[in-house]
Chains A and B, each alone.
Chain A
Amino acid sequence: MTTLTKEAGAPVPSDAGAFLSVRDLHVSFRTEDGMVRAVDGLSFDLERGKTLGIVGESGSGKSVTNLTILGLHNPKFTTVEGEILLEGRELTTAREHELEKLRGNKVAMIFQDPLTALSPYYTVGRQIAEPFMKHTGASKKAAWDRAVEMLGKVGIPNPKERAKDYPHQFSGGMRQRAMIAMALVCDPDLLIADEPTTALDVTVQAQILDLLKDLQQEFGSAIIFITHDLGVIADMADDIMVMYAGGAIERGTTNEVLRSPQHPYTWGLLNSMPRLDSDLAAPLAPIPGAPPSLLNPPSGCRFHPRCTFQDRVGGTRCTDERPLLAPDRASACHLTAEQKRTIFIEEIKPSLG
């Protein structure tokens, strides 16, 4: 129990800088069709105990970013450039055995599909106990007890008995709870949750999201929460980063990004998503076109082929020059700050209802 209750929200030395810091990350894969530039110049920071939500459509590079943080990419076909600093330690050049010490210990991950992420061959209890034994050197007995304790913590009824079950004997929601237990067993400082509730039903999703939020308060982990669902991110994240075609295009606090978004893509996302209280008479306003192929991404601003605000910028800036994302609250778009504000207030906001 002692390891469980870490001094929640313990003051972090502010001079240490961000807990996780990604600087100008480029990840590309060699495929038969050519180089896929999955992540292209991404930078962000994450503080201890905070939740960063990454939203984006499929192929925007959000999952690749996080697999790279954990070093789970295949080095044979992947080129990684840039820096990933975890507490000042460089991860992109770290050796495999160093990363092994991190994974499941300091940094843990929750995957989208718990049935494929759990091994069908071992009991749930053993799978949870294993990283604990490996990282803390605890005995088999102690690790098993810890696994049972964690299962109870995440709300598996009768954890003593259920720990002896195999994953297929668990329901979808319970498997995801077991995954959370496994991720939290070593009390990680950073938890990466990659679409953890996408495969679940809404009522179960609501339970899991609330559980994650409450566990975070207790464990004090930082979370990177990846999803394509803006509703989920609104519920979970402190800060939001919107990704499109391998790069971040907007960032800010949850409130800023959702209440006064500044990028045409974010406007498009908000506009194309029906809500429970949206105006029924108005048709949805989809983003025209389809996400670009990363084999051959568009020149200049990646979003320009689908953007309806290009003419407001004028000239050929959108097609020639890639807009940069400034640190803190910012959006990568050539529109001026004034334009962004007035377009959102006058044209976008009314249609959101």
Chain B
Amino acid sequence: MKEDLVLPAPREAAAASSGDPLLVVEGLTKHFPVKGGFPIRRTVGAVQAVDGIDLTVHVGESFGLVGESGCGKSTTGRLITRLLEPTAGTISYRGKDITHASRKQLAPIRSEIQMIFQDPYSSLNPRQTVGKIISGPMEINDINPEGGREKRVRELLEIVGLNPEHYNRFPHEFSGGQRQRIGVARALALEPKLIVADEPVSALDVSIQAQVVNLLQKVQQELGIAFLFIAHDLAVVRHFSQRVAVMYLGKVIEVGDRESIYTRPRHPYTHALLSAVPEVNLAEETEANGRERIRLAGDVPSPISPPSGCRFRTRCWKAQDKCAAEEPPLVRISGNHEGHLTACHFPEDPTIEARDEDIVLDPALAALEEELGEGTGD
């Protein structure tokens, strides 16, 4: 694999002013109707996949979106790229409202917002050559780069670390990691300003994952492209994103810069999520690595009828009456850094150190641990 990337000169727009908001999302909501009944199928409810989220992605920044399956992170990505029609809320790209923009109005913007998909197998047309796949976006937008499209495709292949000679090959001739690189090349074809990457590495083997993460990071830093990086792997998101938002059941429950979220989380769910990540402890001491241990009970509730008030309250160890009655606003809590917002009535201490007593909410686990006794010191 090529390590040195041949990169085109950075574009003026990206170099202009990083820090300006590129994409602003306010109150974004997507409800999918649930049909039921017989013989006439009526809408009987709604899956509240995304329910009023606010996000801002700045120029040239990589913004991570983490959460468990069903929390609405992929739906958010698809709403932002306008592959789905939002139910409510606004999306504005560079100050322009694109929430319900028509196909025509969107056309110039579509080229600036690109997407990388999770599955490198189903996201490439098996009947097209790599050259055709990558030049497709240019064709659609009628872009004729200097020296022709083929030259540009070869350039792109080189950028993503593939052999430009493979221009005429078909996707099945490539491995998963290489296919994902083709996906990246396609996303770069139109010189986008924002790339929405939906779980770009989770389908790949560990040793290949790192190759693709490094490639994306290089692209992001050297071409100044803003990324909305959607993933469930907290370690990968930490590695890639400068700012991170944590989602739970269609809501953003905590957002802030990477350092704050990973070392000084305030929301109980963020605590639980971080403590659940299995980690290789490379330190010499045999003691568990000093992280807190929180084991939640059960699974995420259904988004068809999410809990009232705070959505996490049904699995939260700090929940009180107030949590059921009142939805906590996403605000800066005293003690938080600038830009670190948390939606919780009873925030946790900003530390991830081990607690005096583990929080084990799972009844079976708690019962077993009781039975096995504390004496084992496990």
Give the B-binding residues of A (Cβ under 8 A). Answer: 57-58, 152-157, 171-174, 177, 201-207, 209-211, 213-215, 217-218, 228-232, 234-235, 255, 258-259, 268-278, 280, 283-291, 352
Contact = CB atoms under 8 A, between A and B. Distances in A.
A184 B281 CA distance: 30
B369 interface: yes
Contacts of B295: 203, 206-207, 210
Given A274-B236, A276-B235, A276-B262, A203 B273 contact: yes
Contacts of B365: 155, 207, 210-211, 214
B362 A57 contact: no
Interface in B261-279: 262, 272-279
Interface stretch (B17-25, B43-51, B205-213): B205-213
A215 B277 contact: no
Given A57-B207, A202-B232, A211-B364, A276 B277 contact: yes
Interface string B358-372: 000011110011011
B362 to A, nearest CB: 5
Contacts of B147: none
B119 to A, nearest CB: 14
A285 B3 CA distance: 11
Given A153-B364, A202-B68, A171 B299 contact: yes
Contact of A234 (B272, B278, B364): B278
B345 interface: no
Given A57-B205, A203-B295, A274-B238, 18 more contacts: A57-B206, A153-B364, A201-B300, A202-B234, A202-B277, A204-B299, A205-B278, A213-B378, A230-B280, A231-B277, A258-B282, A259-B282, A272-B209, A273-B206, A274-B239, A275-B280, A289-B1, A290-B175
Contacts of B274: 276
A206 B279 CA distance: 11
Nearest first, the 9 closest Cβ-Cβ pairs linking A and B are A155-B364, A231-B278, A272-B210, A286-B210, A206-B276, A201-B68, A284-B210, A214-B368, A287-B207
A234 B371 CA distance: 24
Contacts of B298: 157, 171, 173-174
B54 to A, nearest CB: 24
Contacts of A173: 298-299
A291 to B, nearest CB: 7
A286 B208 contact: yes
B323 interface: no
Contacts of B209: 272-273, 286
A273 B210 contact: yes
Interface in B189-238: 205-211, 213-214, 217, 232, 234-236, 238
Interface in B55-74: 68-69
A269 to B, nearest CB: 6
A157 to B, nearest CB: 7
14 contacts: A203-B272, A203-B273, A217-B378, A218-B368, A218-B371, A269-B207, A273-B206, A275-B279, A278-B239, A283-B214, A283-B217, A286-B208, A286-B210, A287-B207
Contacts of A205: 276, 278
B276 A275 contact: no
A209 B262 contact: no
B279 A276 contact: yes
A201 B236 contact: no
Contacts of B1: 286, 288-289
A209 B278 contact: yes
Contacts of B213: 274, 284
A115 to B, nearest CB: 13
A273 B235 contact: yes
B214 A286 contact: yes
Chain B binding surface, main DSSP class: helix
B47 to A, nearest CB: 15
Contacts of A228: 205-206
Interface of B: 1, 68-69, 175, 177-178, 205-211, 213-214, 217, 232, 234-236, 238-239, 258, 262, 272-282, 284, 286, 295-300, 362-365, 368-369, 371-372, 376, 378
Contact of A272 (B175, B206, B378): B206
A274 B206 CA distance: 10
Contacts of B68: 201-204
Contacts of B372: 214, 217-218
Contact of B368 (A211, A259, A286): A211
A113 to B, nearest CB: 14
Nearest to A349: B282
Contact of B205 (A157, A207, A291, A352): A291
A32 B351 CA distance: 56
A268 B235 contact: no
B281 A234 contact: yes
A172 B299 contact: yes
A58 B214 CA distance: 21
A272 B365 CA distance: 33
B299 A202 contact: no
Contacts of A177: 364
A199 B266 CA distance: 28
Contacts of A230: 206, 280
Given A172-B299, A211-B364, A286-B207, A206 B278 contact: yes
Contacts of B210: 271-274, 284-287
B280 A211 contact: no
A323 to B, nearest CB: 19
A229 B207 contact: no
Contact of B363 (A157, A202, A278, A288): A157
Contacts of A234: 278-281
Contacts of A215: 368
Nearest to B300: A201
A135 B211 CA distance: 49
Nearest to A284: B210
Nearest to B363: A155
B364 A284 contact: no
A230 B277 CA distance: 11
A228 B233 CA distance: 14
B43 to A, nearest CB: 22
Contacts of B378: 213, 217
Instruction: Tell which of B205, B214, B300, B378 has the most Cβ of chain A within 10 Å.
Output: B205
Given A217-B372, A273-B210, A278-B239, A203 B296 contact: yes
B91 to A, nearest CB: 27
